[in-house]
Amino acid sequence: MIQAEGLTKVYQMGESEVRALDGASFTIGKGEMVSIMGPSGSGKSTLMSIIGCLDVPTSGQYSLDGVSVESLGERGLAEVRGRKIGFVFQQFNLLARTSALENVMLPLTYAGYSGREREKRAFAALERVGLGDRTHHAPNELSGGQQQRVAIARAIVNEPTILLADEPTGALDSKTGVEIMDLFQSLHRDSGQTVILVTHDAYVARHTDRIIRISDGRIVSDDINPNPIKAGTAREE
């Protein structure tokens, strides 16, 4: 599904160069649940942007589903993002004066679905995340955990092959964070999607079957997790 070879990303800051990625190489197979873990400034957010086709590397090769991403223009990158990747972020990025259902319908509008089909698919996505009874609530009428569930429903409504989450529990309390990780595990189990979590939090990473660690723009370890935390397990502080 994902093949990265020697990825570098260099930013020009005045007269200085900042090397956010420095030769990162890895592969992620179809249907895997993987975390990319590292501290702030390690390069994990830059790597997430490249995996998600929000950015392209300065050098190196990145292939998604057999397609070389560097060969795509802006339009091609946008099409890949719309068809193959669902994004979940730390901040929920919901439209404030818009219902949960309308927030989830938004990607379907861009994809050209009819009004009736958009509503049907959005409602089904909200039911999958446990919010079938909150479809007409605005974000300010929902808890933080419920807002993140709406954001997850929006990410999966197009049935992408990859679900990419950046610090998905970072804005939540620990109990709600456990519930959201349970949800990611159940979505992965039920759909077979490739799920990639980008995080600094070891507890979040331990929910995945494989943990890729990054430091100073380099992959420093890539290990199978022999004992992933199972759904419903309370967090120990």
Query: What confidence tens digit (pLDDT) does each residue in 80-92 have?
Result: 888 899 999 999 9
Two tokens, residue 208: 């995945």
Q: What value does the CA radius of gyration of the chain take, rounded to a whole number of Å?
A: 18
Residue 84 lies in a domain: yes
Q: Is residue 237 part of a domain?
A: no
Confidence bin at 1 (pLDDT 50/70/90): confident
The pLDDT of 127-153, averaged and rounded, is 96
CATH number at 106 reads 3.40.50.300
Q: What is the identity of the amino acid at 18?
A: V
pLDDT band for 237, please (50, 70, 90 cuts): low
pLDDT value at 233 more than 80: no
In single-letter form, the type of residue at position 142 comes to L
Q: Is residue 147 part of a domain?
A: yes
What domain range is 218 assigned to?
31-40+78-224
Do the strands 2-13 and 59-64 form a parallel or antiparallel pair, or are they unpaired?
A: antiparallel
What is the SS3 assignment for 154? helix
| Per-residue pLDDT reduced to its tens digit, 43-88 | 999 999 999 999 889 999 999 988 898 888 888 888 888 889 999 9
| Whole-number pLDDT of residue 120 | 95
Tell me whether residue 45 is in a domain: no
Quick check: is 212 in a domain? yes
Question: Above 80 in pLDDT, residue 12?
Answer: yes
In a domain? residue 211: yes
Q: Write down the pTM of the prediction.
A: 0.92
Model confidence pLDDT, tens digit, residues 192-217: 899 999 999 999 999 999 999 999 99
The two three-digit tokens of residue 192, written as one number = 């077979």
Q: Is residue 73 part of a domain?
A: no
Give the model's pLDDT for residue 74: 87
Between the alpha carbon of residue 123 and those of residues 16, 58, 165, the distances in Å are 50, 41, 21
The verdict on residue 70 lying in a domain is: no
Instruction: Give me the number of domains the chain comprises.
Output: 1
- Is a pLDDT exceeding 90 seen at residue 219? yes
